[in-house]
Amino acid sequence: MSEYLISIKIEKLEEGGYLATSDILRGLVAQGRTIAETMEIAQDIARKLIESYIEHGDPLPLEIEPSTNVIQDVKIPVNVIA
């Protein structure tokens, strides 16, 4: 099993919820009620797209990086009910 890092953009939708897209991985469009849900859906779609590239023998976009053991500074959403 391989792991890859890709960049996504998440934007808040006027009608509610969030939309994730990727300039690197064309075809990645994910919508969810929360940022966390949107990220989870985006990961699933990205996995399926990358698996399709590999299955068809197509080269992955150059911007897709194999994951390393380096932990990067990542911001995560935290919902608090107060």
Q: What is the CATH number of the domain that holds 62?
A: 3.30.160.250
Return phi, psi of residue 65, to 5°.
Answer: -105, 135
11 in a structural domain: yes
72 in a structural domain: no
**Regarding predicted confidence, which is higher, 76 or 24?**
24
- CA pseudo-torsion sign 12, 14, 20, 21: negative
What would the pLDDT profile of 31-82 be if each residue is shown by its tens digit? 999 999 999 999 999 999 999 999 999 998 888 878 776 666 777 777 788 7
Q: Look up the domain containing 44 and give its range.
A: 4-66
74 in a structural domain: no
How far is 41 from 28, CA to CA, in rounded Å?
10
Whole-model pTM?
Answer: 0.81
Close Cβ partners of 70 (under 8 Å, ≥ 6 residues apart): none
pLDDT at 4: 87
HSE value, Cβ hemisphere, 13 Å, CA-based, for 33: 1
pLDDT at 3: 85
Q: What's the structural domain count of the chain?
A: 1
pLDDT at 25 over 80: yes
pLDDT at 71: 66
50 in a structural domain: yes
78 in a structural domain: no
CA 78, distance to chain mean position in Å, is: 18
81 in a structural domain: no
